Amino acid sequence: MGKQEKPLHTLQQFLPDNTFGHIAPYFKEHNIHLTLTKARKSILGDYREPTRSEPYHRITVNINLNPYNFLITLVHELAHLVTCVEYGRSVKPHGKEWKANFKNMLIPYLGKNFFPNDVETALSKYINNPAASTCTDTELYKALYKYDLDKKPGQTLICHVPVGQHFKTDQGIFVKMKQLRTRSLCKDVGSGKQYYFPGIYEVELLSQ
Ligand SMILES: [Zn+2]
Structure confidence by residue, pLDDT tens digits, 150-190 = 788 889 999 889 999 999 998 999 999 999 888 899 999 99
Residue 54 has φ and ψ, to the nearest 5°, of -125, 80
pLDDT of residue 27: 96
pLDDT of residue 67: 96
pLDDT band at 1 (very low <50, low <70, confident <90, very high): very low
Does the pTM surpass 0.75? The reply is yes
Q: Which helix (DSSP H) or strand (DSSP E) does residue 169 occupy?
A: strand 166-169
Between the CA of 45 and the centroid of ligand 1 the distance, in Å, is 8
Between the CA of 199 and the centroid of ligand 1 the distance, in Å, is 23
Q: Which helix (DSSP H) or strand (DSSP E) does residue 175 occupy?
A: strand 172-179
Hey, which of 33-47, 60-74, 140-154 has the most confident mean pLDDT? 60-74
Between the CA of 175 and the centroid of ligand 1 the distance, in Å, is 35
Q: Are 34 and 9 in contact (CB under 8 A)?
A: no
pLDDT (tens digit per residue) in 114-132: 999 999 999 999 998 887 7
Between the CA of 74 and the centroid of ligand 1 the distance, in Å, is 10
Domains of the chain: 8-145 (3.30.2010), 155-205 (2.30.30.30)
* 25-34, 65-74, 173-182, range with the lowest pLDDT: 173-182
105 closest CA partner among 26, 48, 10, 176: 26
* Mean pLDDT within 65-91: 96
Between the CA of 207 and the centroid of ligand 1 the distance, in Å, is 39
Cα 3 to Cα 6, 49, 59, 63, 140, distances in angstroms:
9, 20, 16, 19, 36
Residues 141 and 160: their CA atoms lie apart, in Å, by 13
Between the CA of 37 and the centroid of ligand 1 the distance, in Å, is 16
Percent pLDDT > 90 in the chain is: 71
125 closest CA partner among 112, 141, 147, 101: 141
